[in-house]
Amino acid sequence: MNNFILLVMIFLNVHSLEFPQFYHRSTDIYIEIAQTIEKCDGVELEMVRDYPKLSMVTLNKNQNKPNKGFLLFGEHARELISPETGLHFVKKLCNQNEDMKSIKDNYELQMIVNLNPLSREKVESGDFCKRENENGVDLNRNYKSHWSKDHDPEMVRTAPGPFAFSEAETQTVRDELKKFSPHVFFSIHSGTLALFTPYAYSKEQPSENISNMMQILTEVKEKHCETCKMGSCGHEIGYLSPGTSMDYAYDDLKIPYSFTFEIYHGGLDVRTKKHALKFLEVQSSHNKHRITDEEKLDQLLRDHSCFATTSTKEMPPDECFKYFNPEEKDQYDFYVENWTQAITLSLNRVAEQRQTQQQS
Closest CA to 301 of 248, 204, 225: 225
Q: In which region does residue 314 sit, left (phi positive, over 0), alpha (psi from -120 to 50) or beta (all else)?
A: alpha
The DSSP secondary structure of 133-161, one letter per residue, reads -TTS--GGG-SSTT--S---TT-S-----
Centre a 10 Å sphere on the Cβ of residue 9 and count the other Cβ atoms it contains: 10
Residues 6+ apart with CB under 8 A from 226: 270, 271, 272, 273
Closest CA to 326 of 123, 125, 79: 79
Cα dihedral 25, 28, 34, 38, rounded to 10, equals -130
Closest CA to 71 of 115, 110, 118, 31: 110
CA–CA dist 85, 81 (Å, integer) = 6
CA atoms within a 13 Å half-sphere pointing along the CA-CB vector of 157: 12
**Helix %, strand %, coil % for the chain, to 5?**
45, 15, 40
CA–CA dist 248, 168 (Å, integer) = 16
Active site residue 208: no
Question: Which candidate in 32, 262, 328, 352 is catalytic?
Answer: 262
Residue 348: what are its φ and ψ, rounded to 5°?
-65, -40
Question: Residues 82, 189: contact at Cβ < 8 Å?
Answer: yes
CA–CA dist 69, 258 (Å, integer) = 10
- Catalytic machinery residues: 262
